[in-house]
A and B are shown apart, each in its own frame.
Chain A
Amino acid sequence: MKHACEEISHLASEKLERRLSFMETVRLRLHMLMCSACRHYDAHITTLHKALKIKRKNTFNAIHLPQDKRKKIEIALKDSPRD
């Protein structure tokens, strides 16, 4: 198959962005059965994608609006015209 790895690596990335069609999934899987380089590529970008997702989630929950900034916003809200 001409340009196989180039196309398959694109599909592997698309897989993280949208639901692949049935035929696309079959093409991806079949190719990866035969090609260890693409299998590794798929594993790498998926690992990176997942690691960043976990990282975002962990950081997200640890963030709190600092007191001084909260105070500043409170004052700005008070100064804004009411109706």
Chain B
Amino acid sequence: MGGTFVSNDMNPQRWLVEHGDILYRFAMQRAQNEELAADLVQDTLLAAWKSKDSFSGSSTIRTWLIGILKHKWIDYLRKEIRQRDHATLAEGDPTAWFDPNNGAWLKKPQQWHDDPASLCQDTQFFQVLQTCVKHLPEKQRLVFDMRELQGLDSDEICKVCDVSATNVHVLLHRARLALRQCLETHWFGGKKPW
């Protein structure tokens, strides 16, 4: 009986019906682009079908498919990043925020009066945030985008960029310093966004 069950499960058309939406969600969250996301789902299903013998049955089909999709996306990002001109991958000046003599804030963060729940409903806030993200130095922008917009974990980001977790954390730290200041100036400080 077990055998019949497995062979029934191993059908890419059925995977598409049952898991198409969830795969597309993961793809959209990462790619932020409908065409690219659909291609990613298609590649995932084709790759899964090709390597169906590698499915061990220790996880569910859904988890297995999502795992393949995540790998495909990391591969895609790695290639994408390698093709870029490395000279443009500027790091930004990490010392810009603190007094070099005593490490104190040069410009002290002020109090904000928003909570996460109301901020995440505010479309205007996200427009300002996205503009701030665009102004980040390239490496910081990439890492922040993967971590906070796509929701990848540190491990996945390390694989994409071929750097250590410490390195990723430093980049995230710098990105947060710059973004926070940008948001304070253009959102919380009440100054008009660009």
Contact = CB atoms under 8 A, between A and B. Distances in A.
Contacts of A19: none
Which of B108, B111, B176 has the most CB atoms of chain A within a 10 A radius of its CB?
Answer: B176
A54 B34 contact: no
Contacts of A53: 116, 151
B105 interface: yes
A24 B20 CA distance: 44
Interface in A12-36: 13-14, 16-18, 36
Contacts of A6: 97-98, 103-104
Given A13-B176, A63-B25, A37 B108 contact: yes
B71 interface: no
A5 B103 contact: yes
A38 B109 CA distance: 7
B108 A51 contact: no
A19 to B, nearest CB: 12
Sorting the interface of chain A by its residue count into under 10, 10 to 19, 20 to 34 or 35 or more gives 35 or more
A58 B120 contact: yes
Nearest to B172: A13
A72 B46 CA distance: 13
A60 B25 contact: yes
Contacts of B45: 73, 77
Nearest to B95: A6
Contacts of B114: 47
Interface of B: 12-13, 16, 20-21, 23-25, 28-29, 34, 38, 41-42, 45-46, 49, 97-98, 102-105, 108-112, 114-117, 119-120, 126, 129, 148-149, 151, 154, 165, 168-170, 172-173, 176-177, 179-180, 183-184
10 contacts: A2-B102, A5-B103, A6-B104, A38-B105, A40-B109, A44-B180, A59-B29, A74-B16, A77-B13, A77-B46
